[in-house]
Structure formats: C-alpha cells, structure tokens
Structure 1
Amino acid sequence: MTMTPDTSRHPCFNKSVSGQCGRIHLPVAPACNIQCRYCNRKYDCVNESRPGVTSGVLKPLQAAAYLDRVLEKEPRITVVGIAGPGDPFANAEATLETIRLIRERHPEMLFCVSTNGLGLPPYLDRVKDAGITHMTVTVNAVDPAVGERFYSWVRDGERTLHGREAAELLLMRQLESIRGLKERGITVKVNTILTPGYNDGHIEELAKAMASMGVDMLNVMPLHPTADTPFESVREPDKAFVEKLRKAAEKHLPQMRHCRRCRADAVGLLGNDRSGEFAGCLSECGRTEDSACGGLKAVPVATAVSAARTHAFDRPHVAVASLEGLLVNKHLGESEKFQIWTRTDNGYEMIEERPAPDIGAGPKRWYALADSLSDCRAVLVARLGETPRAIMEEQGLLPVETEGFIEEALDAVYNAVDPRALQALRPKKRKVCAAGGSGGGEGCG
C-alpha cells in the first residue's frame, strides 16, 4: 500500500488547522521499555497536563468504543493518536490492534503514534500496513555520551541496560526506526526535551542529524521539571533561551512552536483540551467487558490459565513487583518494595506496600522476603533467578513470572484450580541473569 501523508488535517503537523481539527490520544500502551529521568507516569490523574499522564488505561476494544462516544460530542476529531502512557511499541500488539479496530469503523481518520523508537524496528512493515501516516520519535541526543545522562535504564527484551550501553542501543534503534519510517513514506516528527546542562549545547547538532535522515519537523520541548524524578531540580529553560535554540535548529529543520505537551488521554483541539470532561467516560469504558464494547470483534487471544473456581487458600493476599502500580513489570531483586493485593467483594484492592530486605545478604535475603510475605499465596514478578525461586517455593510462596496488567494476573491467581497453572504465564524463553543473577541476593533476582 502506498501512502500519501496528509498533514492538512493534523493539528500538530499543521498549525493552521489547530483551531478546526482535533485529536484524541487513546491510552492503550501502559508499559514502557525505558525510564527517562524526567518522566513520572501517572495512570489515574486528571490534574496534570503532560506526557505520561492519563486518567485511565484502555484495552483495544474499550478504546474503540470510547472513540465512538467521544465523536458523538466532539466531531472535530480528525487524528487518532497513541502516545502512552508508556511506549506504544512496548505494547505493540495492543497498539496495532487498536488502530485496526478503529480503521475498520473510521477509515477517514489519520493515525499517529509517538514512540521512543526502541521497540519499533520489528514493526515497521506493520506500521505502514496499518495505515499509520504520522509518527513522532523522541530523540534527546545523537551522541551516547549526552544520551546516557537521560535514562535510568533501557529494557530490551530480557536485558536491562544502563549507562552508555543503554544510550548506544537506544540511539541505534532510534536511527533505524526513523530511517525505516522515511523509507516507507511516513511523515516523521522528532521531539527533543531541551534540558539545561544536559543537551542544550547539542540541539543544533541533533537537528542537523535528523535533517540528514529526512525528518519532517523538530519539536524542541523545554523541560518542565516533574516531582519525584531525578530531574526534578533541573531548572526550566526560559522562553527566550528556547527560542534561541529553535532558531538555530530551524536552519536545518522546520520547527514546531505550538506544542501543548499533550497527556496520554488528550481529547479535543490543541488549544481546548477536554480530557477532564471525558475522564468519566474513559473510566466507564475501561470498566466495560470486551463483549459489551459496541459489538466490536476481538482478535482471539490464547490464555494459559484455568478459569475454574478458586480453592480456599490459607494465604489471602498476593505480592506484586510493580514500577507504577498498574503492571507487573519489575524483577524480584530490583524491587525495593512489594505491593500487597487482596480480593474483596468489590474487586481487587492494594492494601499496603512492604519493603524488601536489603540487597547483599545472599540466600538469607530470599528467606527474609518469604517470611515477610507469609500471608501471600503468590508473588508476581517480571523475572527472578533460580535460587529465589527455589527458596520461595520451599517456603510455600508461589513465584510467578508474568508481565502485564496486575488485575489480570490476580484473576489468574485467585481463579486457578491449581495456582501452579500460573507458571504457564511465564515468558516462553526465559534466561536467568548471569554472574550472580542466579539469585544470590545481590539485586538482580
């Protein structure tokens, strides 16, 4: 399929239509594969306007039904975007399925996706085939020596990288992604977070590099320091400084100057966001069973867990290793604390957080952890080594490797006839961490 990118109805790529054409961001991508030092994702927030924030998270069928309801009240929507709250290609199947469902119902829509580029390369052909015409890739540096200061970690499949190695891999994937998008005729905007003391002397070099790859537009976004992040004390650049760097970059690439730093659930015109108004609708759709989503048909998804009634276990709770409280996505040994969840008459409830034992105690650490979780029937983690696995099982605590929504994993725990059926949720190919990562208590678990 040959696409002719249409910017005439895209308010981000064409400022002149920002007062007539609106956009909607569908929050179907909660997981993220990098941790930026300026980012604090929030999944139940209506009070902030910045990337990574949303009042809820939707599944593809729910997102399609939500769009239908929004269009009844805001027919000026011309662009459907997916921009988080994590990264769309850390949630590639949900992202592409959402677009497929909506394209069937609303073929007139433009489709736009925003990504860090790390997980995009394997999906380049599918992006084109899906009808995605506009992409935004966030690139904060084209020199790993600069880039390594922006990221706490980068997760590539089963590997978690840090420092220079992480920055080098991320940049390589970003360049591969941009090159592949342009080869497929897709319009590309690059977002760059202007961070004083980090990349403010690097902006023009970045603009030159992006221009040489055929990027269509550069959006130099001033850092807005966010609480509870490593960059929270970095000063925000003033408007004059931002404009100075934009003018330098403009010698190489057109500049976007009307960015509104949209939320992951943004709705409406750029200058009149209605995400707060539609937050209740989004939450309602997020509670809707897939079978009730407007007659939409789901792509069959295999499940490996029995849905039979639960046994009455002596241990009423489940421990969860989570970065943000929505997904199971932390390694056992990297978790400084565990969320404790239980089932009530009204669903699942997180009742407390418990600290993990200190790193460095060897197997004693895992015995101490098992003891602290003695009222839990299972501990849900993204990965763990063989030593902690054996100790947990010995102590009557089932360790379960899985990734995804916490409540879906809790369904599996509480509804399985035999909780060991949950082992089927483990990734098909699991590698134990090397060099101490067998679970010696040194932190990788």
Structure 2
Amino acid sequence: MLKTIDFNRHPCFNAKVKGQYGRVHLPVAPKCNIQCNYCNRKYDCVNESRPGVTSTILSPEQALYYMGKVLEKEPRISVAGIAGPGDPFANADETLTTMRLIRKTYPDTILCLASNGLNLEPHVPELAEIGVSHVTVTVNAVDPEVTKNIYSWVRDGKILYRGLQGAELLLARQLSAIEKLKRYGITVKINTIVIPGINDHHILDVAETMKKLGADLLNCMAMFPNADTVFEDVPEPSKPTMIALRNQAEKFLPQMRHCTRCRADAVGLLDDDKTDEMRGCLSACANLPKHAEARRPHVAVATLEGILVNQHLGEATRFQIWGEDGKGGYTLVEERPAPPAGGGAQRWFNICRILDDCRAILVNDLGESPKTTLTNKGIKPVTMTGFIEKGLEAVYTGKGLAGLQGRMHKCSSKGACVGTGTGCG
C-alpha cells in the first residue's frame, strides 16, 4: 500500500513542492506532557499564527469528516498531520485512531506527526504499521544542564519532574525515540527552537548529535516571545544570527529554511494558506457527534451459530460483522477473529481496533472494563439475548432494547471468561 505513495509530495520536507502540494493539521491532541517556557497553548484562538494555537479541538471521527471537506475545497492537500495543540502522544489514543481513519479512507495521503518525544518511543512500531512516514521531534538541547532551563516541568504518567531530573528524562526519551524511528525507516525532522542566552550557543551540538542518530533534516526556529510565558521577555534572535546558525548547522544536517510556523489547525499550501477560509468548516465539524455513525456502518455480533446473540464478549473467538443491505434488511458482511485471550486491558483496545468500523457490538454480557473502553472508542456495547436481526433493527432504527433484555448467563471462573483480559473483564 505505502509503495504507491509519493513521499516527495510533503511540502515541509521538500521545499521544491511547497507551491504544488499542501498540508492539513488535525487538532485532535489538546493535552501536553511538558511545559515549555516559551509556549502558551490556546485552544480557541483565531488571531495568532504559531504552533500551539487552534480555534477548536476535533475528535478522530470529526477529523476524518473534516479531512473530506478539506479535500473538496483544496484537492492539492497531500499531507495530514497532527501537531497539537498539545503533544500527539499525551493523546495517544486520539492520535493513533485519527491516523488509522485517515489511512483507511485516504490511502494515498502522507501521514506525519510532530512531538516532543517524551512518550513517542513505545508507539513507533504502530506508527510504522499504520504508515506514518514523517515524524518531527522538537529537541532543544542535548545537554540536560541546558535542557533544564527550557522546561518548567515534564510529566511522565502521573509523576511530575522538574529541573535536571525532568531534563534528563526528556532527553533520554527523545534520543531513544529518534533512534527507533530510524530503525523503522521513518523520516525524521528535528525542530530546534533557538533561545538567546539559553541554548543559542548549543545548536551545533544538537545538530551533530542528531546526525549521529540518523535524523534527516534540521529546522532551526527562532523563538518568538509569547505573552504569559517564562520567556516572554527574552528577545527574538536576529535574522543574521539565524542565518549564521543554519549555515553552520548545515555542516551536519540539511536545513529547512521555508518553515511557516504552522498553527495546530493549519490548512492549505505553505504559500497559499486556507486556515482562515476553512475556520467555519472546522468549527462546524467540531459540533458534529464525536463518533460519527456515518463513518461506522457496521455492527459486530458475539454469536455461537450466527442466529442468536449468545456469547459474552470475553468468550468470543470471532465476531460476525453485519451491515444494512440497502433494502430495509441486514446482511452478514464477514467474520473477524477476536484477539487471542490474555493481555489484560490491552485486549479490549485490540478489539476496538478490529471493530473500528462498527458503531455497536451485540453481546450477551461484558464487564465494566471492556464496556468503558468500547464506549470511549465510539463502539456502543449492547447487552441482550435473542435473535441477531432484532438487535440489528434496534441499533439501526434507534428503537429501545428493553424487549430484548433477557436472562444473562454468568461468566464461569472455570472457563475462558475470568475477568483478567482472557474473558469479559
């Protein structure tokens, strides 16, 4: 599939095509796991044009619908990216779901991400599997003594780190992520924010280290002072300073000199921006149902023989996938194997991935953990007994399921369904 994609159509990585092809940034990642001293994230701002700013936030399904509207307006869009307004991997579920939806619906689209790298490394194999070909990592220093002055805090899970401890953790994660990205054949651009008096003496060290890791491109970006930040009074580096730094850093890595410092909801060509023009459409998409049923045409069923809904979620070794037949009835589309038993909560995420085109799943019963996971992923769990067709009718017509509720058989601790990822949860 990916062999048919022309990766030269990425305008940020190939300046020669910036007037021919464009990008859309899908703002699905509001949360961030670090606090940069130069960054002020704004989720409802229309007046500023810089990273970390967006006029709204989209769910993955809303982003997919918006992507279609963008392509109707500007068919030269060749790249779909996620660049905030927070970090993609502080919002990993939303990020990966969005990338999968875009890849499935628009298979020729180049997929890219921009991250601080803190939580990137564990997701690299999945990014490669989806077909994310370009990743940008912001690395502002390769010496923790420098890094510690650039970030107020670094949050890893529920633990907040400050000072040198946070700087050491962030740098270690960044280096590991970049090395793994290259091992999986992903093109890597490094963004380095040049901050006078903080890291401007250190840029060549960054360039040299990134070259050793195999990075493909370096984008030295002048820091623009932002109000209400720690560095709001730090002056912007001069243009001669930036020219000199780029020329020196070019001894190690090719330089990006055409960066437009895109918003998290930017859309259009780099020299023909459509962000303002598409803002009304973006806002309208944000008001759609978060899990658009039109993008989920099917219903999954846990059944033993294909007639009745008579299996618990955790007991099912396969799922029947049903859809409307266009004649007022329903048709069996296919059967899909369930993930292997075991794996704890990860099994429920794997089921969601297998059923990503399903709006609901008919089961005899399920536990609270998978119920929550399915619901959060936009798949409605419907517990019932009776004929599959009755359940399908209820889901597709919106009629109540009260008449279908019956006596549920309980999970047996002697069987496969034991509530630990091998069964119903």
Q: Same fold (TM over 0.5)?
A: yes
Distance in 1 (CA, whole Å) between partners of 2:94 and 2:161 is: 25
- Tell me by how many angstroms 1:298 deviates: 9.8
> How far apart, CA to CA, are the structure 2 residues paired with 1:299 and 1:212?
49
Q: Partner residue of 1:232? A: 232
**What's the offset of the Cα at 1:280?**
1.2
How far apart are 1:164 and its partner, in Å? 0.3
Q: Is 2:189 the partner of 1:189?
A: yes
1:3, distance to aligned residue in structure 2 (A): 6.8
Tell me the residue number matched to 2:255: 255
Give how far 1:66 is off: 0.5
Once the two structures are TM-superposed, the CA of residue 81 in structure 1 deviates from its matched residue by: 0.3
Q: Does 1:152 align with 2:152?
A: yes
Structure 1 distance, partners of 2:255, 2:216, is 9
Aligned pairs for 1:39-118 within 5 A: 39-118=39-118
Q: Report SS of the residue matched to 1:180.
A: helix
List per-residue Cα deviations over 1:95-124 (Å, max 9, x = no partner). Answer: 010011111110000000000000111111
Query: For residues 297 and 203 of structure 2, what CA distance do their matches in structure 1 show?
Result: 46
Alignment of 1:184-223 (within 5 A): 184-223=184-223
Instruction: Return the letter of the residue paired with 1:270.
Output: L
After superposition, the C-alpha distances for 1:270-314 in whole angstroms (9 at most, x for unaligned) are 1122111111111111111135464346999xxxxxxxxxxxxxx
1:126 maps to what in 2? Answer: 126
1:370 maps to none
Deviations 1:138-172 (A, max 9, x none): 00000000000010000001110000000000000
Q: How many positions carry a matched residue from both structures?
A: 301
Q: Secondary structure at the match of 1:188?
A: strand
Question: In the alignment, which residue of structure 2 is the partner of 1:287?
Answer: 287
- Structure 1 residue runs without a partner (length 5+): 301-404, 406-445
Name 1:310's counterpart in structure 2: none
CA distance in 1, matches of 2:79, 2:44: 24
Q: 2:24, 2:266 within 8 Å by CA — same for their partners in 1? A: yes
CA distance in 2 between counterparts of 1:186 and 1:299 reads 35
How large is the RMSD of aligned CA atoms in angstroms? 1.9
2-structure distance, mates of 1:209, 1:139: 10
Residue pairs, 1:392-431, within 5 angstroms: none
- Aligned residues of 1:7 and 1:14 also touching (Cα < 8 A): no
Q: Do 2:61 and 2:295's aligned partners in 1 also have CA atoms closer than 8 Å?
A: no
> Partners in 2 of 1:297 and 1:101 — Cα distance?
14
Match of 2:44, SS? Answer: coil
CA distance in 2, matches of 1:3, 1:127: 16
CA contact (8 A) 1:61 1:298 kept: no
Structure 1 counterpart of 2:20:
20
Residue 162 and residue 267 in structure 1: after superposition, are their counterparts in 2 closer, same or farther (change >3 A)?
same
> Could you list the runs of 5+ residues in structure 2 that have no partner in the other structure?
301-375, 377-425
8 Å CA contact 1:5–1:134 kept in 2: the answer is no
SS at match of 2:220: strand
1:79-106 CA distance string (max 9 Å, x none): 0000000000010110010011111110
Letter in 1 for 2:115: T
The residue number in structure 2 matching 1:241 is 241
Where does 1:363-382 land on structure 2 (aligned, <5 Å)?
none
Match of 2:273 in 1: 273
Q: 1:6 to 1:151 in 2, by over 3 A?
A: farther
Distance 1:5 1:70 in 2: 19
Q: Distance in 2 between matches of 1:83 and 1:4?
A: 25
Q: CA deviation at 1:6?
A: 4.8
Question: Contact between 1:62 and 1:293, CA under 8 Å: does it hold in 2?
Answer: no
Judge conservation of contact 2:192–2:220 (CA < 8 Å) in 1: yes
**Whole-angstrom CA distance in 2 between matches of 1:289 and 1:3:** 35
1:180 aligns with 2:185: no
8 Å Cα contact 1:79-1:109 kept in structure 2: yes
C-alpha distance in structure 2 between counterparts of 1:297 and 1:123, whole Å: 28
Tell me, what secondary structure is at the counterpart of 1:226?
coil
CA 1:63 to 1:41, structure 2 compared with 1: closer, same or farther past 3 Å? same
Q: Deviations over 1:226-272 (max 9, x none)?
A: 11101110000111110101111000000000000000000000112
Indicate if the aligned counterparts of 1:140 and 1:192 stay in contact, CA closer than 8 A: yes
Give the residue type in structure 2 aligned to 1:111: L
**TM (normalized to structure 2)?**
0.69
Give SS of 2:255's match. Answer: coil
> One-letter code of the match for 1:120?
L
Per the TM alignment, residue 48 of structure 1 is displaced from its structure 2 partner at its CA by 0.7
Name the residue aligned to 1:354: none
**Per-residue CA shift, 1:42-91, capped at 9, x if unaligned?**
00111111000001000000000001011111100000000000000010
